[in-house]
Structure 1
Amino acid sequence: MSGTDTRPSDGAGARRVAAALAYLLACAAAAADPGDIVARRISAHVHLDGRLDDAAWAEAPVFSGFVESFPRAGVPASFRTEVRVVYDDETLYVGITCFDPEPGAIVRQLARRDGNPTADQVEIALDTGADGRTAYDFTVNAAGVLRDQLLFADVNATDSWDAVWDAAVSVDARGWSAEVAIPFHQLRFSSAPEQRWGILVRRTIPRTHQVLDSVPIPREANPVNAGGLVVSRFGRLEGLVELNPRQGLELLPYAATRASLRPQYSDPSRPGPRLLDPGLDVGLDLKTRIARRLTLTAALNPDFGQVETDQVIQNLSNAEPFFPEKRPFFLEGLDIFQPVGSEYGSPQQLFYSRRIGIDAPILGAAKVTGAVRPGLDLGVLDSLVMGAGNASLVPVGYGSADPGALAPYEERPDRRWRFHSTLPFHLGPEDALPAAHPVTTNYFAAVARQRLGGRTTAGATFTAATPLEPRCRRSEFATDADYAAAGCASHGGNAVGVDLTVPGDWGGFAQLEASQAVGGPPEGRTLQDGTVLRAGDLGYGGHLRAGKLGGEPWRFDVTYVYEDPRLDLNAVGFQPLSNYQWADLDVHYVRPSGFGPFHAFQVDYNLDLNWSADGTSLPRGVNTSLAASLQLPGYQTIGAKVALELPQYDTREIAGAGVPFERIGDVLAVLILKSDPNRRLQASGDVFAYRTLRRGPFAPRTGVGLDLTAYWRPHDRLETRLDVAYGRKPQGPRWIETLPDETAVFGDQDPEFLSVTVRQQLVFTPRLTAQLYAQLFTSAIRYGRDFYGASLPQRRRVSTSDLAPLAYPGAPGGHDAVANVNAVVRWEYRLGSTLYVVYTRSQRELPAQGAPAPTSVAPAGLFRGPTIETVLVKWAWWWET
């Protein structure tokens, strides 16, 4: 589909009579329900130029019954908005006229596709399954910037979904208007001869902060995002008959060539010399409908070189941080793989797509998503990862030796280009491959969710990570002893879960799951809390949340989470904690529609009780917090939070020992400020003060920090975003290492970090943009002069009172500084086809050799450290049949 003319084919006489009859019935229905919009089949063509002056628009009924949802909920719209919907055999067209008495005041901020700048915009959401749960959402602003997202589970939204569609806008003396063209084959809907879809059209006017809707949606109706869309409250789109679009096959072949300049040696203390590694990749993405409501998406050797780098953070916990998915293939249809309650932060996620492709390139992947029948949604994904290793570094590359041990092998790099059957679509020098060949692994995930009645759903999920080979091969080692010492057993895991969701103001959700260990060494592998997991071991867990989740002013709910010590979802999923159970009570007083001169008000209280799940009921912590926020008449927001955290015993602190350690508590106070979000210069952030509690020999310590985000839009084509984060948060005693005599060593840890991130966007046109991302991150982890020890044998737990002064010769402090740069020029030279030019630079500080680590956060030695620079040119051509 492109912005060219589209003409429908002639139908039979009976078909036209049926269409006319359906149209008349729809008109009658629309007259009875002011929220309904009527579509009209057309014989004339539509030319996308943003002006609704084609003859086809004259045939369409006009809908103008908009109401204001914010800031004055429920009053008739003060800005007239007209909507017309027409369609032919292939495309649904939506024309929207936005009348404005001040056309010169219309905000026309530009951004790259899928950006969401502050601008006048219109949004069209279509519930094509008419199930009140899922909808496709299309947005175009007054500058012509396109954005699409998927609404799921009634109140959730993700911008991960992308479709090929088009729109054009025009500004004139009356205001502005938009023409939107959505190909039917980009949507999923039933084969019924007459369709009744849900629809909502929303207009946003930033200079007045007004939100106008075609059907009123109270701000409290969405418990996750106040004022967000709620699919079950949409109006109806009538008049769609005899839709039979072509099947549609989309192919997106690509070629990516890159040149990387990297250090020859992996030892970070030897940043030079550097080698130039050229490389070439080819691949293919494919999408087609295999049924009216099922879509097949596949990828062969997908390349994600244009994706922005993950932000560097300081992680002081012993749990893995969560990073959002950014890769296009996995974003498509990701909604059905989301766990129930993901909007509240799921503690147990059976499928975490970031697991795929971490250690090995993706050779191929395919997924099927959609509805098998009305009310039954399905998602199936299978992905095969494999790659090749640098044979000249084997077998030393399988060990965890100091990087200096690789130096003799790296002295004479193998610069030859070879074909590898496990990496068939990539060309590059041999020494650019990893030191050990990645394990060929198959990742599988399947989800099915059935609507039971009303909006209640039940679901089942199965995931599997199946290694297809050992981590290394006998032929790569000189002797059997060397092979055995390398620990070549690979491991994976299976998981299964069932879930139930009862949406509504009174409702909740629950999930039960089980995991099974696959592979690994015969003696088992030891988890961080000391649990030994052997092949075939089962683990169990679950979570639930129930209560009054929506409405106003009062909401409250209870949460319970259970994680068996042997529950391990991390082969394919995400499970940051283990051997854990906790119960939460949340009470909220919410006024999202505001009161008096204020636009919104909220108070939140939380009580969190934690204990172990191994049968000992070991106390894991008690936490409580109280927070409040208020949106002022000028649309600024102020808020505050106070919290008390008593973490008690942590089973993972002394890594692999299985002996819990008592952590100290703290008191936290936070002040939150946010300016008017619709100004060209805006800022938001918080500052906090932190005080540890006295425990044993450890005196209270004070910490401070801040998080700040600022936007500046000096011109419609420019946007600068600045993120600054600083923190100094004393931790009290933290484990450093366990000595050979099984004495655990602890030190009084005093960490500090500073992160500055800049994102600069320059938009030439909505289809040609340049974007710069740069982050400077530096951190220092210091310890007090004194160290402490505790002997572990025969101990069930270690408390702070058990710690005794210890003469420790080590210097456990650390320092890190990183500078990452990512610059992307994106040109959508034709609809769906893109050209990327990408420059990335990553630099890490030069290690302090033979000297204590720096104690300040100043980036000492950063620009003398090892650097990797890459230039990528990626060309993709979208082709449709």
Structure 2
Amino acid sequence: MKPNAVAITCLLAASAAAAAPENAPTGDAVVAARTPRPISLDGRLDEEEWAAAPAYSRFVESFPNPGLPASFRTEVRVLYDDAMLYVGVVCFDPQPRAIVRQLARRDTDTTADRVEVAIDSGGGGRTAYVFTVNAAGVLRDQLVYADVNTTDSWDAVWDAAVAGDARGWSVELAIPLRQLRFSSAPEQQWGFVVRRHVPRTHQVFGSVLVPREANPLNPGNLVVSRFGRLEGLSELDPPRGLELLPYVAARATVRPQYSDPARPEPRLVDPLVDVGLDLKSPLGSGLTLTGAINPDFGQVESDQIIQNLQNSEPFFPEKRPFFMEGLDVFEPVGSEYGVQQQLFYSRRIGLDAPILGAVKVTGSARRGLELGVLDSVVMGAGNAALVPLGYGNPDPAALAPVEQDPDRSWRFRLRQPFRFGPENALPSAHPVSTNYFAAVGRQRLGGGATAGAMFTAATPLEPRCRRHEFANDADYRAAGCDSRGSNALGLDLSVPGEWGGFAQVEVSQAVGGPDGGRRLRDGTVLRAGDLGFGGHMRWGKLGGEPWRFEVQYLYEDAKLDLNDVGYQPLSDFQWVDLVGRYVRPNGFGPFHSFKADTTLDVNWDADGKMARSLNWWTSSKLQLPGYQELQVRLNVEHPQWDTREIARSGIAFERTGHWYVTASLASDPHRELQGKLDVVYFRTMDEGPFGPASGWSSSLTGSWRPHPRLETKLEAGYEHKPQGPRWLETLPDGTAVFGVQDPRFVSVTLRQQLVFTPRLSAQLYAQAFSSAIRWGDTFYGASVNGRRRLSWADLAPVAYAGNPASHDATVNLNAVVRWEYRLGSTLYAVYTRSQSELPARDGDVPSGLGSPDLFRGRAVDTFLVKWSWWRGG
């Protein structure tokens, strides 16, 4: 293994050995009592069983005055039986009419009065399940993992009810034990905390004080190792049983008949029917099996449209329910800081082919050992009439003669057995069948440290195409039918605490691909069997106050490639970040919180022979007495050598330097009308004929809740960010041509929510996006023959007949009605529309952001009804 990667692990291993013991939780324990009969939920703790449970009321304030006794009395009681855990909370309030009762869709964050119950049923101080209920009865569940990271990815079937009276409000929660993981010990002791949020006073009360500074990146969020205790649980058997969630989805897609974007008419209606099944079952005391057959995600909101000016892939968050649940165990160490090397990126699965089936096992095999295994097969059918033409990047004109007479017949397809629809609804090429596999294990060490290992693999199950699909050998070879995949192995170490850090080292192996290898964006040729190495670490004083110091190091050699299963935007790269922070999470004087940080970033290529760039940025953030937030940031980057700019050449090009300053102001987040304004001023440096140039961007985000049932969110943004010289193409004689890129975009996004009841809601998502990229009148060039570097100073004016200007305008719409007609079972009605502008004719590309041809362009409308029925064993 490369010495750079080994050094990362050695440094963190030394830290693990010296890790300080965890702080013991403070406060008295909450004691549970066994109930002889189930509790009927109505929100009122008036059953005689509740009277038998000891009341815990020693709540303390954690914000804005940490450590003070709670000024609003709160009582919590806990009952249990063999199948259910019941938590009852009474929230006394001197002004019951002022209680905020905002309705929202399930799993939506609200600023209403609310109670959250967090349970570490494994008792390991690392993972907790969070159940939140607001004063209007809206339910939300979350997962806290790695002690401080919170995600909405975990979903459970549970119930709650609320009630109000002259004293305030109260809530009863019924949490099935099958949703929790715990041991078979005769006497249980779980980590436990109850928090109450009062938005009109901004106060947060807890059954135990969790210091804001205990969570280094998100002050005030939960920290599992600081939980109190839940005692009195005895003679509980880990639950058994199978949860099934079958579904039927019927959709009609109205789309253009021809793939040519210049021919939006006529349109066809493609009816489709999908059937599938999700399942879940406990395995022993700590593991859970989750499976899916032909999962459907038609109700999931579309990804946001962006203008990507970089030559690397953007990162999009996972939104699909099957992959979100249990995703935490596959997260890399340090994910809360943002990670450039991620062995498992679930968005890869189903990106190029439908998911036939997937299964995962997650949980604890024994105390302190977390496991996760996921396997998924993607497989799909192609339109038999178009398959020979559809490989590679087919010309729409070549597909048009076949598309003129589409095959509307229905037939059973073994490659896609759970979807039924006409032949012409299938893509023009068979998606490559691939098996995706990921396995991770993390063992807790002394002092709260953890050590882990992860293995991932993308294994193609077939070639991209077959000889019998082509008329001759020449066409077959030209189609490039070799499929490819990869394997990757990573080792990681995490040491929590004020002084600590984390590290990961990894190795990748290329699998398959063409005989001559494939050329990556930075010019590296990757052949079957090639190994790549990398790693990253962050170490220092990551917690506490007021001073924090840390160093980050990242290394990835030229042949490290995690992108078949994971996410890795760069390669042939190493950098060092030196970071200093001053933080006051509990505020000072009239201010509620303050933080300031500065970072010096230096990076080189992997062999250290060429400096890539030097960056410096500093920022500060302050929460004002009125709970508004003010933030400013200054960033300077110069120089910046980029081996990915001249695609697949391996030549480093010197981009012009730049600096920018950002100012942000956000209003009190607990008001009915909220807003946030960001303004950025951007300027390129004076680099001969290419600078300086100025640009700016602005974004405004606002939300309005005029009624407890109604919420409107609006996001509007504009950006003009001059780029200096950017590569266009390399001519046959070896001349690389550049133009001065001048991009702009405008985006408006609307999210509208109407809630009839906590289980019946309507949601609208709409985004209008327009971008224009213009280029200067002069083009520049330089020969790349025999070069390893090319500077902006080497460029000279050249004649260029191309027209690289581009314009893009798109509208995405997603409307969803969700009805949870019985516990865990839902009915969705969904309408989606995607429309793009009509392509420019005769090279007449619009120079502005307006698009008169937007609603004359290609549009795809989909109508979906999806029914699911939950059955718990």
TM-score range normalised by the length of the shorter chain: over 0.9
Q: 2:205 aligns with which of 212, 229, 254?
A: 212
Separation of aligned partners in 2, 1:429 and 1:618: 56
Indicate yes or no: 2:514 matched with 1:521.
yes
Indicate yes or no: 2:417 matched with 1:424.
yes
Separation of aligned partners in 2, 1:832 and 1:625: 47
Separation of aligned partners in 1, 2:401 and 2:387: 12
Structure 1, residues 186-215: CA drift from partner, whole Å, max 9, x if none?
100111000000001000000000000110
Q: Is the 8 A contact 2:183 2:238 kept in 1?
A: no
Structure 1, residues 247-271: CA drift from partner, whole Å, max 9, x if none?
0210000000000000001110000
Indicate yes or no: 2:58 matched with 1:58.
no
Indicate yes or no: 2:245 matched with 1:232.
no
Give the aligned partner of residue 19 of structure 2: none
Separation of aligned partners in 1, 2:392 and 2:312: 24
Q: Is the 8 A contact 2:239 2:282 kept in 1?
A: no
Q: Is the 8 A contact 1:745 1:790 kept in 2?
A: yes
Offset of residue 245 of structure 1: 4.9
Q: Is the 8 A contact 2:26 2:209 kept in 1?
A: no
The answer for unaligned runs of 5 or more in structure 1 is 1-31
Structure 1, residues 358-391: CA drift from partner, whole Å, max 9, x if none?
0100000000000111111100000000000001
Query: Does the residue aligned with 2:790 lie in a helix, a strand or coil?
Result: coil
Separation of aligned partners in 2, 1:366 and 1:54: 42
Offset of residue 46 of structure 1: 1.1
Offset of residue 420 of structure 1: 0.6
Give the aligned partner of residue 599 of structure 2: 606
Give the aligned partner of residue 340 of structure 1: 333
Q: Is the 8 A contact 2:803 2:843 kept in 1?
A: no
Query: Does the residue aligned with 2:689 lie in a helix, a strand or coil?
Result: coil
Separation of aligned partners in 1, 2:801 and 2:101: 63
Give the aligned partner of residue 17 of structure 2: none
Query: Does the residue aligned with 2:445 lie in a helix, a strand or coil?
Result: strand
Query: Does the residue aligned with 1:594 lie in a helix, a strand or coil?
Result: coil
Offset of residue 399 of structure 1: 2.8
Indicate yes or no: 2:828 matched with 1:836.
yes
Query: Does the residue aligned with 1:335 lie in a helix, a strand or coil?
Result: helix
Q: 2:537 aligns with which of 538, 544, 557?
A: 544
Indicate yes or no: 2:770 matched with 1:778.
yes
Offset of residue 859 of structure 1: 2.5
Give the aligned partner of residue 630 of structure 2: 638
Q: 1:794 aligns with which of 786, 790, 796?
A: 786
After superposition, residues 670-709 of structure 1 pair within 5 angstroms as: 670-709=662-701
Amino acid at match of 2:611: P
Q: 2:405 aligns with which of 400, 404, 412?
A: 412
Separation of aligned partners in 2, 1:547 and 1:616: 24
Q: 1:740 aligns with which of 708, 732, 736?
A: 732
Structure 1, residues 527-560: CA drift from partner, whole Å, max 9, x if none?
0000000000000000000001111101110000
**Seq. identity, %:** 68
Q: Is the 8 A contact 1:556 1:587 kept in 2?
A: yes
Indicate yes or no: 2:124 matched with 1:131.
yes
Separation of aligned partners in 2, 1:123 and 1:208: 17
Give the aligned partner of residue 9 of structure 2: none
Amino acid at match of 1:510: A
Give the aligned partner of residue 253 of structure 2: 260
Indicate yes or no: 2:643 matched with 1:651.
yes
Amino acid at match of 1:378: L
Q: Is the 8 A contact 2:119 2:192 kept in 1?
A: yes
Give the aligned partner of residue 453 of structure 2: 460
Offset of residue 402 of structure 1: 2.6
How well do the aligned residues superpose, as a CA RMSD in angstroms?
A: 0.9
TM-score, length-normalised on structure 2?
Answer: 0.97
| Greater RCO (Cα-Cα under 8 Å, separation 6 or more) | 2
Indicate yes or no: 2:555 matched with 1:562.
yes
Structure 1, residues 121-152: CA drift from partner, whole Å, max 9, x if none?
00000011111110000000000000000000
Separation of aligned partners in 2, 1:243 and 1:415: 58
Structure 1, residues 603-657: CA drift from partner, whole Å, max 9, x if none?
11011111111x2521211110111111111101112111111252100000111
Amino acid at match of 2:519: T
Give the aligned partner of residue 475 of structure 1: 468
Separation of aligned partners in 2, 1:34 and 1:692: 56
Amino acid at match of 1:554: W
Give the aligned partner of residue 191 of structure 2: 198
Indicate yes or no: 2:358 matched with 1:365.
yes
Separation of aligned partners in 2, 1:101 and 1:368: 48
Query: Does the residue aligned with 1:431 lie in a helix, a strand or coil?
Result: helix
Indicate yes or no: 2:747 matched with 1:764.
no
Query: Does the residue aligned with 1:391 lie in a helix, a strand or coil?
Result: coil
Give the aligned partner of residue 436 of structure 1: 429
Offset of residue 707 of structure 1: 2.0
Gap change, CA 1:325 and 1:59, over 3 Å in 2: same
Offset of residue 858 of structure 1: 1.2
Structure 1, residues 489-531: CA drift from partner, whole Å, max 9, x if none?
0101000000000011110000000000000000000000000
Structure 1, residues 260-302: CA drift from partner, whole Å, max 9, x if none?
0000011100000000000000000000011110000000000
After superposition, residues 134-173 of structure 1 pair within 5 angstroms as: 134-173=127-166
Offset of residue 740 of structure 1: 1.5
Query: Does the residue aligned with 1:454 lie in a helix, a strand or coil?
Result: helix
- Compare 131-140 and 638-647 and name the one that shifted more: 638-647
Separation of aligned partners in 1, 2:28 and 2:355: 47
Q: Is the 8 A contact 2:667 2:675 kept in 1?
A: yes
Give the aligned partner of residue 566 of structure 2: 573
Q: 1:105 aligns with which of 77, 98, 103?
A: 98
Separation of aligned partners in 2, 1:45 and 1:431: 54
Q: Is the 8 A contact 1:854 1:860 kept in 2?
A: no
Q: Is the 8 A contact 2:26 2:208 kept in 1?
A: no
Give the aligned partner of residue 10 of structure 1: none
Separation of aligned partners in 2, 1:591 and 1:404: 63
Amino acid at match of 1:92: L
Separation of aligned partners in 2, 1:305 and 1:173: 44
Give the aligned partner of residue 667 of structure 1: 659
- Compare 844-853 and 77-86 and name the one that shifted more: 844-853
Indicate yes or no: 2:675 matched with 1:712.
no
Separation of aligned partners in 2, 1:738 and 1:278: 45
Separation of aligned partners in 1, 2:823 and 2:226: 33
Give the aligned partner of residue 499 of structure 2: 506
Query: Does the residue aligned with 1:392 lie in a helix, a strand or coil?
Result: coil
Amino acid at match of 1:397: G
After superposition, residues 491-502 of structure 1 pair within 5 angstroms as: 491-502=484-495
Give the aligned partner of residue 391 of structure 2: 398
Separation of aligned partners in 1, 2:38 and 2:337: 46
Indicate yes or no: 2:268 matched with 1:275.
yes
Separation of aligned partners in 2, 1:607 and 1:859: 42
TM-score, length-normalised on structure 1?
Answer: 0.96
Amino acid at match of 1:424: P
Amino acid at match of 1:185: R
Separation of aligned partners in 2, 1:739 and 1:138: 61
Give the aligned partner of residue 17 of structure 1: none
Give the aligned partner of residue 288 of structure 2: 295
Moved over 6 A (4+): none
Separation of aligned partners in 1, 2:676 and 2:287: 42
Q: Is the 8 A contact 1:840 1:871 kept in 2?
A: yes
Offset of residue 667 of structure 1: 1.2
Indicate yes or no: 2:86 matched with 1:89.
no
Give the aligned partner of residue 6 of structure 1: none
Amino acid at match of 2:141: D
Amino acid at match of 1:783: W
Give the aligned partner of residue 531 of structure 1: 524
Indicate yes or no: 2:598 matched with 1:625.
no
Q: Is the 8 A contact 2:238 2:284 kept in 1?
A: no
Query: Does the residue aligned with 1:810 lie in a helix, a strand or coil?
Result: coil
Gap change, CA 1:860 and 1:737, over 3 Å in 2: farther
Q: 2:308 aligns with which of 315, 325, 329?
A: 315
Q: Is the 8 A contact 1:85 1:93 kept in 2?
A: yes
